[in-house]
Amino acid sequence: MATIRCPSCGSPVMLRGKRWECGWCCDFGDLSSLSPSEKAKLARAADHTVQVKITVTCTDDPRSGEQAGKVFDRKALEDMVKRWDFSENEWACRDLLIVAFPQAVKRWTPEELSKMDTMDLLVETGKHDPDTAVQMIRLLLDTAEEHLQTPAAARQLLGYEMYDVLMDENVLPPLVQQLKGDDRLAFQLFCSAYAGRPQEKILQACGRLGEPELQKELLELLEINPFPHDPVEIQ
């Protein structure tokens, strides 16, 4: 799809449903407010597909002669998370989720999303749409998979950003169901360089939800985890 440009400054914009937002001048509006040439680009898109892009948040102190925001598409964000390199965008994990799940994040405005970190987005999604929250968890773990054997990265993902959502009572039932047929996810969660209270809560949920075999399998994974972790208590 052709690049859609801001009617105020001419920079590429990101599209969210029927609205646009500019990462350069921070202007925004309905698609109807775009210039005729830009609306024509949208009309010519045969498949009507919108390319979602994320920009670094604009500051209140514009830099003369410099770009105030940089645009990242899904491929670029996935590459950052896969390399575990956030030098270009410290919010790459959060922004990847926003790009990958546009329907789920439509309930929030761009301004509200800009104030969330990855943990906030996962927790808030879990409240409204626990199934999608599980898929968000899977995407981040799959993308950053090789770094789950690194204590610092594993602790950041599982011990901070995913900590609350992995213990959310709304999210645990679909997460347990996902784990029943997803050996990769089970290994990611129970054989990573971080294991603690979230894994304990998942094991306890297996018991409550009538999944003793899954509970046994996950506990066995935890037992062969080569990294140090606290003992778990299964009720």
Over 157-180, what HEC string results? HHHHHCHHHHCCCCCHHHHHHHHH
Residues 6+ apart with CB under 8 A from 2: 41, 44, 45
In the chain, the largest separation of any two C-alpha atoms, in whole Å, equals 64
Q: What is the pLDDT along the chain (235 residues), one digit of tens a residue?
A: 457 877 887 777 777 666 777 766 667 777 878 877 777 777 665 333 334 445 544 434 333 333 345 779 999 999 999 999 999 999 999 999 999 999 999 999 999 999 999 999 999 999 999 999 999 999 999 999 999 999 999 999 999 999 999 999 999 999 999 999 899 999 999 999 999 999 999 999 999 999 999 999 999 999 999 887 766 777 6
Backbone angles phi, psi at 14, to 5 degrees: -100, 145
- The model's pTM: 0.71
Tokens of 185: 């996810």
Q: Where exactly are the structural domains of the chain?
A: 1-72, 84-235
pLDDT digits (tens, 9 = 90+) for 143-189: 999 999 999 999 999 999 999 999 999 999 999 999 998 999 999 99
N- to C-terminal Cα separation, the chain: 54
Q: How far, in whole angstroms, is CA 142 from its chain's centroid?
A: 11
Using a pLDDT cut of 70, give the percent of the chain over it.
83
Name the amino acid, one letter, at 9: C
**Burial 56-79, CB ≥16 within 10 A → b, else e:** bbbeeeeeeeeebbebbebebbbe
Secondary-structure percent of the chain, ordered helix, strand, coil, rounded to 5: 55, 5, 40
